Structure 1
């Protein structure tokens, strides 16, 4: 996926509000890329543009070498909240994207049950979302995105609402699942540590009008393990990113 010079303006109270300005970034096949930026800088708007829900004021969206600006149904998306339908069972929620794509139910359910076991949700296939913990709900929501026919995944702060310990568990879990199938991922987070732990590359965004202030190659090898969090190089890079963001957002 590639964004080419994306800009976005809105009219607010008769004035032009520039949210995004000349955003160019890319995610290669099988790559995990994170975006770090302040609240309100337009990260969700960027996802809406990628997903074809909002037309950019300027610029182009390319997926698999084709311009797809304004086209819907080409990405898999996971929002900040799990957004599971309370009237559908866990397996029915997980197969939703496949159902919309017209994949036969028997095939979809078989695949869903296989993956539910892999992500620690065996036995909850017929349960409803309200009986699951927050972390379990997020696993189900991620699995729904993972099993979508679309290769490219946008994850919009999927762990923001979780407590610190659950969030850490989910980061480790996401990394282990992602390393099994290497889907192309664009991941939004406020956490520098989370981005460094999960990503191949990181884009740092400014305040509005939002631009890319730095692109960072994450140097830690894969498969990546929790021990990397305590390495001196990890802590040094974390502090450098923090200093950059603090300097820009004063």
Structure 2
């Protein structure tokens, strides 16, 4: 059974007294312990899809199913990591990490204990009592990811979390994310504009069209795990990257 299943999701926004369709007909799944990426043109509604999954927006049509239950419009069922870390500057690093657990009803002392246990595992030992402004961009992203990871919800939705990082830090964070995910195998739905990132991280990739978005193609990524950056030099990796590039270039030409 799929952890997440989207069934024929459609959505439109009112623009100048008319409805502007953003999502045309999206059906996809994320299995238990699976890493799935969404990639598509800018403005194709990927973030809107996350808002629908999280219950912040009710779709114009279609259904969201989680663990075999219809949950369209219900909030609090996913762990979410936005494009920017969104850390609270007045809370310490450990308090930021503990926030998701506290919101879910866990006691502050228990939540902080778990945060202190995990921070050294992600390379942030010694920063527990510091505040976000002392951390680099990559370190702040680790805090945001750990906050989502420790939240009790099994499905994690990551909205282009590394897009604002420089190229080297982005590569380091990708490898770090894989190493942490391999230990936990949470179900992940990941938005990215980087074809290489999607291929490096994912079990499957959905390539979306221009809005109103539909699924152009679902790709199964064949590379064995655990993965290293060396996989990016393999001929099969390069072929898949070029295939996705052709799909997206064709969409751009159709704008």
TM-score norm. by structure 2 comes to 0.97
Q: Map 1:73-222; keep pairs closer than 5 Å.
A: 73-222=76-225
| Structure 1 residue 77: Cα displacement | 0.1
| Structure 1 residue 105: Cα displacement | 2.0
2:231 to 208, 212, 228: 228
Name the CA distance, whole Å, in 2 between partners of 1:162 and 1:225: 20
Native 8 Å contact 1:201 1:216 kept in 2: yes
Give the aligned length: 250
Name the CA distance, whole Å, in 1 between partners of 2:129 and 2:42: 37
| Structure 1 residue 248: Cα displacement | 2.0
Matched, 1:17 2:20: yes
2:30 to 27, 50, 70: 27
Matched, 1:57 2:60: yes
Q: Deviations over 1:25-56 (max 9, x none)?
A: 00000000000011111111000000000000
Name the CA distance, whole Å, in 2 between partners of 1:243 and 1:11: 32
1:71 to 66, 70, 74: 74
Q: Deviations over 1:158-179 (max 9, x none)?
A: 0000011100100000010000
Native 8 Å contact 1:19 1:42 kept in 2: yes
Name the CA distance, whole Å, in 1 between partners of 2:232 and 2:44: 27
- Give 1:43's aligned residue: 46
* SS state at 2:181 partner: helix
Name the CA distance, whole Å, in 2 between partners of 1:227 and 1:162: 21
Name the CA distance, whole Å, in 2 between partners of 1:247 and 1:100: 44
* SS state at 2:138 partner: helix
Name the CA distance, whole Å, in 2 between partners of 1:241 and 1:213: 10
| Structure 1 residue 226: Cα displacement | 1.6
CA RMSD of aligned residues (A): 0.7
| Structure 1 residue 101: Cα displacement | 1.0
- Structure 1 stretches of 4+ with a deviation exceeding 6 A read none
Name the CA distance, whole Å, in 2 between partners of 1:34 and 1:16: 28
Flag structure 1 segments of 5+ consecutive residues without an equivalent. Answer: none
Native 8 Å contact 1:201 1:217 kept in 2: yes
Native 8 Å contact 1:30 1:183 kept in 2: yes
* SS state at 2:72 partner: coil
2:245 to 230, 237, 242: 242
* SS state at 2:76 partner: coil
Q: Deviations over 1:190-224 (max 9, x none)?
A: 00000000000000001111111000000001111
